[in-house]
Structures are given as structure tokens and as C-alpha cells.
Structure 1
Amino acid sequence: MSTTPNFGKQLRYIQSRLYSGRVRQIIRKTGLNKLLSKPFWQLVYALSENTQTQEIANQSIDFRTDTFTEFMRFRNLAGESSVVEDLLNKLDSDDIFYDIGANVGTYTCFAAAELGPGRMVAFEPEPENADHLRENLELNDLDAEIIQIALSDTDGTIDLALTGDEAGEGEHAIATGNTERTLEVDTARGDSLLEDRELPKPTVLKIDVEGAELSVLRGLRETLRQNCRLVYVEVHPEKIRGFEAEVSEVETLLTDAGFEVTELSQRGSEVFLRASM
């Protein structure tokens, strides 16, 4: 990819000037926005440098964009900037943050910048995503422990369904049916893993595990009751049914553990929940 950023920036500027008002209405009404959007952003990506900078709540983070998938993820933080901002505004200096389903590090990097060394643990079982997560941490001189295990309510192994060929794909999930491409990964109950590895006890969790939310929470029952004060969960209503679970069970588990659950935002069918003490 080219390392001359001006062309990419100029294209974005032209788009912002032209794609407004009446023009925007016509393009959306005719469906041209869907037809033209991907080719436009592919051109911007090709003409941009291989990093993007995002700033939220006074924290500025550089992210590598070696793939088009990563470029699109970090262009608008996959529609999650308001959730990231809410998290950063609620972190205390003595918090320990676990990013469960860290992908390539959006939440990990912002939280690590806010909290400093020794207070960040990221769980990402997919090897390529984990490698890019390390690169993003190194790019910003940030510290986090990365554990390549899928948290669950059982110890063992499980097949991870791979949905794309590029780092940053956000939909790798535990396979629940016939899947063409899978990767066997280790699983562990969160409560057991904390004891076995003598990890610092988390006070804040973020969970994005593409339908396996309830399994992760069940494996962290004791941790939720004893240590946590704040939990962010991205719930996938359609995918969670593949695990023979319902969204209401996630909310019930959290309320039974003493949390008050609030719906922060929604992206398509996906719901972002915040559970606080």
C-alpha cells in the first residue's frame, strides 16, 4: 500500500464536500451509496498510509491498517466509538481491565493508554488477530498481557469458525455447525484460569465473542461476584441462539450477580450492554 497519505485525505475531503445535502439524499434513495461505497473506500485505502489515528476521550491511538478489513474497522472504529468513550470515561486509575475477544486491539489499546502498564489483559485466540494486536500495542508503546485462549465455561479445546482471510475480521466465532474453515483453539473457564495463572483480578470487563457471551459469563461467575464493578457486553441475538441461549439469559446472569444492566447502543441486531454495580 502507498505511504503517501495526502491523496487519501484529499479523497475524503472531496467526499465530505460532495456527499451532503440533496446529493446525499439522491444517492441514498437510488441505492448508489451501497454500490459505490466499497470501491471508493478501497481507493482511499490504496492511497493512504498504513496507519490510522483515532482520538477518543483525550487518548490518541495509532492503528496499523495492513489489510482493507483493518482499514474499514478503524475508519470509524466499527461503529463502537461511543461505547469506547463511555468505557474510558468510567475507568479509574486502579482498575484492572480484561478485553475478552480483543480482535486487533481497539478497546485494548485505548484502555491500556488510559490505565498504564500492568493493568490490561487481552484474550484473543485467533493467531493472526493476536499478532496484529501486539503490533498495535508496540506501535503506541503500550503494555498488555495477551492470552491466546478462548474463555468459556469449560476447559479444553474447541473449533473456531474462521469467516475471512484478513486480520481484523470481527466475526470469528466458536463453530456451532458445518463450517468450511475452522481452527482448533484452547478454551478455559475464566475463574479457573485466573487462579491457575495468578492473573490480576479484573474490575472491568469487555466481552465481544460473537454469540458465546453466556458461556464466557458462566465461566466467570465468581469473578463477577467478587471483583468486577463494570461489564460491557456486545450481545449477538441471532448468534447466541446457536449456543442454545437467549439475550435475556445474559441480562439475568448479570443482574443475579448484583449488576444493573443498561442498553448503551445498538448496531443492526447487535446490542451493547453495560452492567454496573
Structure 2
Amino acid sequence: MASIIACARQAIIDAAYRSYYRLNDLNHEHEIWASPKRAAGVRFRSYEPLPRHCRDELLEALCSGLGPAEVVYDVGANTGVYTLAAAATRPDVRVIAFEPDPRVVEHLRQNVACNSFEDRVTVRTEGVGDETGTATFHRSSYDELGSFRPGNAAAWTADVTETTTVPIVRLDDVEAPPPDHLKIDVEGFGREVLEGAAETIETHRPTVYFEPHVVDAGGTDYEVDWLRDRLDTLGYGAERLAEGWVFRP
């Protein structure tokens, strides 16, 4: 009986998630309503139906640490909550947002445009990893779970809906102002992102905001332990927050 109840509960949760993502797609597709959001003490608008992630401690840490004319790299921007909040925090902050999912990146562009943030946000359609070229991206029935790792794209009760080849870039190869702040939320591909940013981190010493998501490698400590060891050698300190870690030089 308990197993039947658990299965029924999971089915309801799954149906709710799928309905939400369908609503999200429709709202972006038809630009029905860009609802007001409040996050980290600032306001912006987006076509995301609910204020998801607006209360993230990691987001609060990012926005509270922004100084004049600083540069934020948002790696794994999705529909743009972190990008929009950072851009809203200071008019002279520049955000470079990376989102490889072809559909989600269009949502990101719409949300940037509805806030008139085009002058301070650059949207890039590449994934980020340890090499520059192309890679197979696994799109998920839960948009925010899309990943270069199929296990992450099918986490929870999601499914891989399709695979597509997308451009991918090392941050060390990016021709743009270097980051003062580097946020990484890439569904299990974080180690590859950091390996491709080794020179950037060592030279420019950005604050790193990292949300771990590892399915294929057997747990989130796989990424975090490696990252803590790597940044510790560069004199970074680590702070644990609800959603992830902040590493400050």
C-alpha cells in the first residue's frame, strides 16, 4: 500500500512539473505576461511563470558582491534569473550569459529584451567545457535539466527528449572582458567548465559561485571535492550555502 501511495505521489509531482514547463513554453512563445520578480533586493520582469530561484542564497551572494562596472559570467544561464538580477543590481554591470539549449536560449533572450537589458547583457549560445568545438547536448523534458551528461538530463522523473550538436567553448578561449564573478550551474558538467577556465581563474581570480549537480559520477561531492582542492591551491576560501558554494579569492 505504501509503495502504491509513493508511486501515486510521484506521478502527481511529475505531472505538475511537466505542466509547469509546458506553461513556461507557452508564455514565452506567445509573450503573454512578463511578470514582475524580486530577487536579491532588485526587481525585474520575466516570462517565467513563477519566481523560481529568486530566493537562492547563491544569487543573494552574487548580487551583494557586485562592484562598479564588474563583469559576470553566467554559465548555464537557463531563462536568466541570475543574469537578470545581476543586470538589475547595477546599471554598469556587464553580464555574459552562456546557454546552449536552443529553445531555452530564446527564452533567455526574450527575458533580457523585456527588461531592456540588451546594452548590459550578452547572450551566447555556446556550452562551456574543457575544449572548444562542438558537443552533444541532451535536451530534457524539464528544461532546466538539459545537460551534456544524459544522466543529468534524465534526473528526477525527467526524460531526454532529444539530442543536438551545439557549439562549446573553453572560457580561456573566450574573447571578452574577463570575469570578476563566475557563476556555474551546468547539470554535472562543472568540472569540465573549471578545467577549461584554469588560466582565467588563475590570472583574473573571479569569485566563483558553484551549484553542483552530478548524477553519472555518483554524487555531488565528485565535483565539489575536486573544485575545493583546485581553488585551495590558488588561495581561495570556501563558503557553503543552501544551493551550492561560493569560492572567494
Is TM more than 0.5 here?
A: yes
Matched, 1:171 2:154: no
Unaligned runs of 5+ in 1: 1-30, 66-70, 267-271
Match of 2:37 in 1: 54
**Distance in structure 2 (CA, Å) of the matches to 1:117 and 1:90:** 14
Q: Structure 1 pair 33/129, CA: closer, same or farther in 2 (3 Å)?
A: closer
Task: Report how many residues are paired.
Answer: 222
Quick one: which of 10, 16, 22 aligns to 1:38? 16
| One-letter amino acid matched to 1:116 | P
CA contact (8 A) 1:155 1:187 kept: yes
**Distance in structure 1 (CA, Å) of the matches to 2:189 and 2:80:** 19
Match of 1:88 in 2: 63
**Distance in structure 2 (CA, Å) of the matches to 1:226 and 1:95:** 16
Q: Structure 1 pair 175/32, CA: closer, same or farther in 2 (3 Å)?
A: closer
Match of 1:191 in 2: 172
What are the superposed Cα offsets for residues 178-218 of structure 1, whole Å, 9 maximum, x if unpaired? Answer: 9662010111211022xxx3x00101010001001011001
Q: Structure 1 pair 204/240, CA: closer, same or farther in 2 (3 Å)?
A: farther
CA contact (8 A) 2:40 2:54 kept: no
Q: Structure 1 pair 225/51, CA: closer, same or farther in 2 (3 Å)?
A: same
Judge which range, 253-262 or 203-212, deviates more. 253-262
Answer 1 or 2: higher relative contact order, Cα 8 Å, separation at least 6.
2
Quick one: which of 227, 246, 249 aligns to 1:274? 246
CA contact (8 A) 2:74 2:82 kept: yes
Q: Structure 1 pair 241/114, CA: closer, same or farther in 2 (3 Å)?
A: same
**Distance in structure 1 (CA, Å) of the matches to 2:79 and 2:211:** 16
Shift in Å at residue 34 of structure 1?
A: 8.8
Unaligned runs of 5+ in 2: 1-7, 155-159
SS in 2 for 1:187: strand
SS in 1 for 2:145: coil
| One-letter amino acid matched to 1:202 | P
Answer with 1 or 2: which has the greater Rg: 1
SS in 2 for 1:200: coil
Match of 1:123 in 2: 98
| One-letter amino acid matched to 2:144 | G
SS in 2 for 1:265: coil
**Distance in structure 1 (CA, Å) of the matches to 2:130 and 2:138:** 18
Quick one: which of 172, 182, 185 aligns to 2:163? 182
CA contact (8 A) 2:130 2:195 kept: yes
**Distance in structure 2 (CA, Å) of the matches to 1:118 and 1:60:** 15
Q: Structure 1 pair 184/82, CA: closer, same or farther in 2 (3 Å)?
A: same
Shift in Å at residue 263 of structure 1?
A: 1.0
**Distance in structure 2 (CA, Å) of the matches to 1:176 and 1:208:** 16
Greater helix fraction, Structure 1 or Structure 2 = 1
**Distance in structure 2 (CA, Å) of the matches to 1:241 and 1:149:** 26
Match of 2:209 in 1: 232
User: What is the TM-score of this pair, normalised by structure 1?
Assistant: 0.71
CA contact (8 A) 1:159 1:174 kept: yes
What are the superposed Cα offsets for residues 78-116 of structure 1, whole Å, 9 maximum, x if unpaired? Answer: 475322122111111131100001011010111111232
CA contact (8 A) 1:213 1:240 kept: no
Match of 2:190 in 1: 213
Shift in Å at residue 57 of structure 1?
A: 3.3
Matched, 1:133 2:108: yes
**Distance in structure 2 (CA, Å) of the matches to 1:176 and 1:35:** 24
**Percent of pairs identical after alignment?**
26
Q: CA RMSD in A?
A: 3.1
Matched, 1:251 2:233: no
| One-letter amino acid matched to 1:128 | R
Shift in Å at residue 256 of structure 1?
A: 2.1
